[in-house]
Amino acid sequence: MASQQYATPVKGGAHSSTSSATRRISSADLDQLLRSPATPQSKVTDFNNGSSATGTASTNDTRLLFQQKEREIESQRQGRDANQLLAQHQNVYEQNKERLLDAITETGSLLADLRDYNTNKRIIHYAAATAQHASPSAPQPGALKRSQSTRPGASFDDSDAAGRTDTSRPFHPSLQRCYTSQASSSSLPNTPERRAPARSSTAPFGGEADDIDNDNANDDEMSVLRLDLRVGAVGGTPSSALVRSLERSSVAQLLDGRMEKSQRHLENLKQRISDTQSKVLVTGDLNAGKSTFVNALLRRDLMPTDQQPCTTVFCEVLDADDSNGGAEEVHMLKPGTAYDAKDPSTYTRHTLADIEKIVAEAEDFSPEDAPILKCYARDTRATQDSLLRNGIVDIALIDAPGLNRDSLKTTALFARQEEIDVVVFVVSAENHFTLSAKEFLWNASHDKAYVFIVVNKYDQIRNKDKCRKLVLEQIRQLSPRTYDDAANLVHFVDSGAVFGASSTAADATVVDDEATPADEAVKKVEGVPESAPHSASAGGLTSRSSESLRAFARLEASLRDFVLLKRSKSKLLPSKTYMLRLLSDIGLLARINTAVANVELGEASRALEVARPALARCQASHAKLESVLEGEEDEVVTAVMQEAQRKLNAAIELIGRGLPAVESVSLPAYPGLFNVWEYAQEVRHALTGSLEVALRGVEDTTRGTTSQAVDRVQKMGEAHLPEGVEKRQRIFNPDAMFAKRRSLPGLVGLGLTTEVVEVQPSDFFDAWHHFAVLTGSGQGGEGKDKALASSSSRGDDELGMVSGLSLGLGAITLLGGKTLGAKTAVDALVRVSDLVGNPTARRWAGPVFALLSTGLVVYFIVDLPNSVPRNVGRALRHGLVSGSAVATGGAATTTTVAVGDKSGAGEVRSFTAQHSARVSRETRKVLRLATWDLQERFRDAIAQKRQEVEREEAKAKSAQMALEYFAGAEAQVGRVRAKVDEVVGLETA
């Protein structure tokens, strides 16, 4: 209030001659007048030239001056109060701003943390997704609430746009088209992605969710972090099938995207709050008088006006002193280039006078290509009057092209820019709201709530009450919040009257003695430059135009108030709203995830109570079974081996006595002396054949024993395997045992050398055997066997001599052995030699010997059918026992895989040892397979149980971690929220 001079047109008296001039009265003058109110000849200030004039003042004049003084004092008081109020407001604003900036920073890092948690540690459950994907048995508070909600859209956007609409707002079917079409217009520049149907399709005051009504905040519903899961870009409705088909990880990914977007928006909010400039977008119907209104606000004929729609540009008017070093000029922005006032390459420079030409040239441009002008103009009015240069905040006024179907989208987009704080919507009182206007206004006010509405050309309306009612009713439907505060936000004016556009303004006069404090404002409206063609002061105002000016003055005061005193509302409230929404969402996420984690922890704990003992039981059973199985295996293998040894030894013993090892095999019939050779051969075949049968018998017994053992093992498995483990058995096929050996031909299968079937001389008379028997060196002992067996392996040279000797000795032995016994025979032989020395004996010795020899030969021949099997059997037995008849590397050692038997091929072992080892190996192999199968299933079962335990432990750990994390997050949300809640005064400012 540095300059306290007011322009006061006065009428009549000494000053009537100067009625067209503006009188200026100073405080000093008025003080003086007050000091001598009754002085007949008082000194009256000549308001025109500042000099004093002396004369007799009439009572009327005195009264007039008193009234004037009172008004001035009141005005000064009001000015002081306003300044104080502004200062206070500025203080509160700064505090609020700092709190919000702090809260935004903290929330940003909380979001970053949540994203990291979601991506790297544990997927965050998102409301409805949780209900669908988490354990169905477990109730989840947040999710459950949604599923029980009666609102169709409360669960995961499963409803259509209408279903999601807040019923507190009137929804206009006629506007639905634009609502949805704009919601899906993701291709538009500067456009945030499509939104969920519950949300605004346009955001006049920001690009994100700060465009949500504060009142509609609901702690149980996502808003900012709500996921848009609509199907299809155009006209699609959300599909619950799609939602259900979405994996939790996909939902988490979408949530991450949403949080990232929110982080970006927080950064924008920061910038927006830190920005000291406030932008006021003036838009409205074609030809509604927007440019006239802007000129009226500026008191300058800056923007071209015409009876035809003419504005084709977005012209942002800024204060030249504040923003451009005082230089009045126009910068035309280069499309696609970021504007920088300090960089002339980003714009082309023009004079203010060029605006008309630029506007005219841009007439044919499409709305998207409409040039954007930065118009730096000096605001000559006093700080407290000026809108642009008010000393508190830099205001920019943007004159936009008129709305029609083409420009609607562009202007809506322009309005969505972050830095647009206030939208002033100009509508012609003559036309009310056109369809485009309705669309724009409904969208702009739908979420933003407040729009400043100027109903212009009110002077043209005859039935003003009717018009007012109609327009207000429309506003009530389109923007209920604006309607509620219509006294401040809706103004019926005649902008032309301020700047001479309307016909009535040209000869308007003001009646002084009816002036009220509101008239002061009217007089400010009158403070137009002298160059103005239709200055209100030029011809004096009629009461008609006086009313118009008063209305405009009220509008200006309200607009200033709205932009300045209530800039908190336009700048901070959206941020506060957004923050509250976001924090509420994070809080909800934290609660949902805490609930889910609690459920998971409970589930995991319960599962562990079962799984841990089950694992321990399973491990114990396994250990026990393992030792039992080992014992069983050893027992069976030993039994098999002993049985095999016993049976094979018995078989070999029989063979050794020249008898077949089994009854089912019989020796061949003696074919006579002339076929004795073949006889010996057949005996050999028969005896080895009987051995094969005996061996098969051993193998069959082993199969039976093994089958029983396998059966026992499997039963043990059934008994010990834990519940739920697959009990399917490996099928045991006993026939497969020894099948390979049996498939081999005779001797090879038996693992014997081919010599065992070759006829030997000893098969007919085994001299060494008889000698051994004769010398009493044992009855079939091992040493004797060796000695006797060696007879069959001597060279052919010795054969004749040995055979002759064998024959002779054999005869003696046989005779002696048969009649007197061996000893007696030898004794007889000694006595015979004694007789040789006796002459008498020598006489009959020859015939006796001849007789004896003949007898022996006869006996030998007669005994051949018995002696051959005996000799063959004895030789075979010897070969089998000594291992000399067992082929090294033969079937006995190679047809089985050595399992736990260290005997290798090539080692000389008896037939019994070899085959008993083989069958026991085979048995061990089969049993190992059976037990291995069982153990394998045990191991699987244990691994499964361990996995289950580990899984539940991990689940419990993860849930525990989530509980801690979300408890921390919720606490942080609480702290930040308290800070945001401290941002006060926005609702009443």
Ligand X SMILES: Nc1nc2c(ncn2[C@@H]2O[C@H](COP(=O)(O)OP(=O)(O)OP(=O)(O)O)[C@@H](O)[C@H]2O)c(=O)[nH]1
Binding site for ligand X (CB under 6 A): 286-292, 305-307, 309-311, 401-402, 456-457, 459-460, 494-496, 501-502
Q: What is the rounded distance in angstroms from the CA atom of residue 735 to the CA atom of residue 737?
A: 5
The least distance separating ligand X from the CB of residue 314, rounded to whole angstroms, comes to 11
Where are the alpha helices (H) located in 883-910, listed in sequence order? 891-894
555/750 with CB nearer ligand X: 555
Which secondary-structure segment (H or E) carries 94?
helix 59-116
Q: What is the rounded distance in angstroms from the CA atom of residue 487 to the CA atom of residue 70?
A: 27
525/680 with CB nearer ligand X: 525
Which secondary-structure segment (H or E) carries 44?
strand 43-45
CB 893 within 8 A of CB 798: no
The least distance separating ligand X from the CB of residue 498, rounded to whole angstroms, comes to 8
CB 654 within 8 A of CB 674: no
305/546 with CB nearer ligand X: 305
The least distance separating ligand X from the CB of residue 420, rounded to whole angstroms, comes to 18
Q: What is the rounded distance in angstroms from the CA atom of residue 455 to the CA atom of residue 453?
A: 6
501/590 with CB nearer ligand X: 501
The least distance separating ligand X from the CB of residue 402, rounded to whole angstroms, comes to 3
Q: What is the rounded distance in angstroms from the CA atom of residue 798 to the CA atom of residue 730?
A: 62
The least distance separating ligand X from the CB of residue 400, rounded to whole angstroms, comes to 8
- Tokens 């919040």, residue? 481
The least distance separating ligand X from the CB of residue 440, rounded to whole angstroms, comes to 14
User: In whole angstroms, how far apart are CA 414 and each of 434, 444, 726?
Assistant: 20, 11, 69
CA-wise closest residue to 521 among 489, 545, 557, 548: 557
9/304 with CB nearer ligand X: 304
The least distance separating ligand X from the CB of residue 340, rounded to whole angstroms, comes to 28
Which secondary-structure segment (H or E) carries 626?
helix 573-656
Report angle CA 444, 450, 451 to the nearest 5 degrees: 65
The least distance separating ligand X from the CB of residue 141, rounded to whole angstroms, comes to 54
Q: What is the rounded distance in angstroms from the CA atom of residue 42 to the CA atom of residue 840?
A: 215
Q: What is the rounded distance in angstroms from the CA atom of residue 563 to the CA atom of residue 280?
A: 8
312/570 with CB nearer ligand X: 312
The least distance separating ligand X from the CB of residue 455, rounded to whole angstroms, comes to 10
The least distance separating ligand X from the CB of residue 284, rounded to whole angstroms, comes to 6
Where are the alpha helices (H) located in 346-492, listed in sequence order? 354-361, 405-415, 435-448, 464-478, 480-484, 486-489
The least distance separating ligand X from the CB of residue 315, rounded to whole angstroms, comes to 10
- Tokens 């920073």, residue? 105
Helical packing angle, 290-298 and 543-560, nearest 10°: 80
CB 170 within 8 A of CB 477: yes
Which secondary-structure segment (H or E) carries 333?
strand 329-333
Backbone angles phi, psi at 319, to 5 degrees: -75, 125
In whole angstroms, what separates CA 920 from the centre of its chain?
59
CB 239 within 8 A of CB 552: no
62/311 with CB nearer ligand X: 311
330/604 with CB nearer ligand X: 330
CB 371 within 8 A of CB 383: no
Which secondary-structure segment (H or E) carries 424?
strand 420-428
If you write DSSP's letter for every residue of 506-565 in order, what string do you get?
A: GG----GGG--HHHHHHHHHH---TT-TT-HHHH---HHHHHHHHHHHHHHHHHHIIIII
In whole angstroms, what separates CA 115 from the centre of its chain?
11
The least distance separating ligand X from the CB of residue 380, rounded to whole angstroms, comes to 21
- Which two three-digit tokens encode residue 549? 């000016």
9/496 with CB nearer ligand X: 496
CA-wise closest residue to 407 among 290, 489, 245: 290
The least distance separating ligand X from the CB of residue 426, rounded to whole angstroms, comes to 6
Helix (H, G, I), strand (E, B) or coil at 282: strand
363/609 with CB nearer ligand X: 363
438/457 with CB nearer ligand X: 457
Name every residue whose Cβ is closer than 8 Å to that of residue 739 and which is 6 or more positions away in sequence. none
* Amino acid occupying residue 513: D
User: In whole angstroms, how far apart are CA 477 and each of 236, 470, 473?
Assistant: 27, 11, 7
296/586 with CB nearer ligand X: 296
Q: What is the rounded distance in angstroms from the CA atom of residue 330 to the CA atom of residue 182?
A: 33
CB 518 within 8 A of CB 554: yes
Q: What is the rounded distance in angstroms from the CA atom of residue 70 to the CA atom of residue 60?
A: 15
5/460 with CB nearer ligand X: 460
The least distance separating ligand X from the CB of residue 555, rounded to whole angstroms, comes to 11
The least distance separating ligand X from the CB of residue 311, rounded to whole angstroms, comes to 3
The least distance separating ligand X from the CB of residue 492, rounded to whole angstroms, comes to 10
CB atoms within 10 A of CB 53: 12
The least distance separating ligand X from the CB of residue 578, rounded to whole angstroms, comes to 32
Largest Cα separation within the chain, whole Å, is 219
CB 963 within 8 A of CB 122: no
